[in-house]
Amino acid sequence: MIQLFVIVFLGLLASSLWRHFRYLSKWDHLPGHSSWTSLPLIGHMYRLGTTPIESLHALNRRFGDVFRLDSGPWPAVWLCDYDQITEAMKKDVFSARPHHLIPGIQQSWENDKDGCFGIVFASGKRWAEQRKFLSQYLASSKDSFDDIIGDEASRLCNQVSSLIESKSGVVSLIGKFSEPTNRVLWRTVTGKPVEDKIASWLNDVIRDVFRMAERAKISHLLQMTTSFAAPTAKALGLENIIDKKNNILDFLADEKARTLPDPEGNFMERFMVEAGKAVPGSSFYGEDCQKNLESSLASVLLAGTDTVSAFLEWFVLYMTVFPDVQEKFFREIETVIGSRSATLKDRACTHYVEATLQEITRHCPHLALTVQHYTTADTKVGGYFIPKGTQVYYFSGAVFYNKDFFKDPATFRPERFIDTKGEFVSDERVIYFGTGKRRCVGEILGRAEQYLFSVALVQAFKFGAPEGQRPELGYIPGLNMHANQFSSKITPRF
């Protein structure tokens, strides 16, 4: 028995040393944590603890604007300086995703030798074509945003009204924004009303996927970082990412079977028009077409729902914690919009509202980090050599809290984005939607939802702290940081 133990131990030691000298040490010239402290499966992620944002700020202060901190078993470099981030993210060499380094992603997403299909985890020509198609579709749908989001916002306000009646006004809205944001996306991509069956399917599937990806238990972590864990979990009948993926794909295949090509139609109908014109090598051609359609739609549903609903939770929390800001926000709506439904045209005249939304996105931890990128060739950032095959993250939080850009960065003050004429000044350094070639492709819809939902909520309700409580701006760690559980005292305004 002891002999077996010694053999296994020596085997593990030999493979770690081999991995260290042949692979991980290639990144040891960078500031940050070295390969000797990069653990199997989790890399340096244990260094982030339960407060990743504060830990990343501390690493930035200690090591500078470019540092190494391995995410999972693979080397990763983190960028913190605005100029270096924006310069790097404009370049092709930083525009790929490391899907193959994360076996869980590979198993849960359709892929082949060129990488994943669709958009979020895709790279190269296929990613560029699919991204362009979605971007054009969203731009051409923007005239419908007022109606779709306005409708869902008033439905949401009715639900909040019923909720506060039944709970004497003290209510938690955490989790209450997923359904309206899912419904907006579904209506935007299908052009159809949302049937109840679809609404509940969307909610269940999306909630499950995020629960697995973000609030990772050890079994979920193993499924993401190893190739054997997901099939093993499936074989044992445990919750697994393969089934989650199959649920999404089966549902989308059903929807596609009912769809015919139409150049003026919805996302799927226009996609099928592209398929009819496609030539070999195109991502709309042959078998790849179906895989790209499914993965692009899955990209939209996953990237576009939890982001907006998490933002709305933060919005309500900020309104609850900062009543003076809420009051000014409401006064401006009252003066400029009155009691009618807001439209996107109102944005040009609601300067304080715009400034508040921008300040929340700067101040709160929601998207202080982004999805990882991957270098496709040797390159440089800030004078440091970055080898081909490096995962690259940018820590937007370092830019948002840079004292040279934002005076007293920890202070929440929407007025910092209002000029001497009382007008809103957009600041390009608030890279909340990302920057460069991978910048959020759904930004046009995301911003429309932020505006119309936030205005509708404050127009209808006053949010205050429940008696004897002062909710705090705490967060739940994840890629998309959610606000901690909190309640507000919600009073109808009319």
Q: Which residues inside 199-218 make contact with ligand HEM, applying CB under 6 A?
A: none
> Which conformational region is residue 191 in: left (phi greater than 0), alpha (psi within -120 to 50 degrees), or beta?
left
Tell the burial category of 211 from Cβ atoms under 10 Å away from its Cβ (0-12, 13-18, 19+). Answer: middle
Q: Which residues inside 406-435 make contact with ligand HEM, applying CB under 6 A?
A: 432-434
Site string for ligand HEM, 364-383 (x = CB under 6 A): ---x--xx------------
Structure tokens at 339: 């009691």
Q: Quick count: other Cβ atoms within 10 Å of Cβ 64?
A: 14
76-79, strands of its sheet edge to edge: 66-68, 76-79, 391-394, 373-374
Q: Which stretch binds ligand HEM (CB under 6 A): 211-219, 306-314, 344-352, 410-418?
A: 306-314
Q: Which stretch binds ligand HEM (CB under 6 A): 23-31, 191-199, 257-265, 443-451?
A: 443-451
> Which conformational region is residue 49 in: left (phi greater than 0), alpha (psi within -120 to 50 degrees), or beta?
left
307 binding ligand HEM? (CB under 6 A): yes
Size of the residue set binding ligand HEM (CB under 6 A): 24
Nearer to ligand HEM, 164 or 213 (CB): 213
- The DSSP element (H or E) to which 320 belongs, if any, is helix 286-321
**Residue nearest to ligand HEM according to CB distances in the complex:** 442
Q: Shortest approach of ligand HEM to residue 482 CB, angstroms? A: 13
Nearer to ligand HEM, 164 or 381 (CB): 381
Inter-helix orientation angle 267-277/286-321, to 10°: 150
Options 160, 297, 445, 483; binder of ligand HEM; rule CB under 6 A: 445
CA distance 99 to 105: 6
Nearer to ligand HEM, 303 or 483 (CB): 303
Q: Shortest approach of ligand HEM to residue 147 CB, angstroms? A: 17
Q: Shortest approach of ligand HEM to residue 382 CB, angstroms? A: 18
Nearer to ligand HEM, 119 or 317 (CB): 119
446 binding ligand HEM? (CB under 6 A): yes
Q: Shortest approach of ligand HEM to residue 279 CB, angstroms? A: 23
Nearer to ligand HEM, 119 or 325 (CB): 119
183 binding ligand HEM? (CB under 6 A): no
Nearer to ligand HEM, 409 or 446 (CB): 446
CA distance 397 to 56: 9
| DSSP state string for 435-467 | -GGGS-TTHHHHHHHHHHHHHHHHHHEEEEPPT
Options 438, 451, 475, 486; binder of ligand HEM; rule CB under 6 A: 438
Is 490 strand, coil or helix? strand
- The DSSP element (H or E) to which 179 belongs, if any, is helix 178-190
Site string for ligand HEM, 99-138 (x = CB under 6 A): --------------------xx----------x-------
- Cβ-contact 483, 475 below 8 angstroms: yes
Q: Nearest Cα to 113, choosing from 231, 122, 226?
A: 122
Site string for ligand HEM, 237-276 (x = CB under 6 A): ----------------------------------------
Nearer to ligand HEM, 120 or 268 (CB): 120
Task: Output the CA torsion 333→335→339→343 (10° steps).
Answer: -50
Q: Shortest approach of ligand HEM to residue 254 CB, angstroms? A: 21
Nearer to ligand HEM, 311 or 329 (CB): 311
Structure tokens at 61: 């202060």
Q: Which positions ≥6 away from 53 have C-beta within 8 Å?
A: 365, 368, 397, 475, 481
Nearer to ligand HEM, 72 or 434 (CB): 434
In SS3 terms, 96-157 reads as ECCHHHCHHHHHHCCEECCEECCCCCCCHHHHHHHHHHHHHHHHHCHHHHHHHHHHHHHHHH
Q: Shortest approach of ligand HEM to residue 433 CB, angstroms? A: 5
Q: Shortest approach of ligand HEM to residue 188 CB, angstroms? A: 7
C-alpha distances in Å from residue 487, one per residue of 175, 251, 307, 458 = 12, 35, 20, 16
CA distance 191 to 294: 17
186 binding ligand HEM? (CB under 6 A): no
440 binding ligand HEM? (CB under 6 A): yes
Q: Which stretch binds ligand HEM (CB under 6 A): 76-84, 139-147, 296-304, 323-331?
A: 296-304
Give me the residues that bind ligand HEM (CB under 6 A), please: 119-120, 131, 299-300, 303-304, 307-308, 311, 367, 370-371, 432-434, 438-442, 445-446, 450
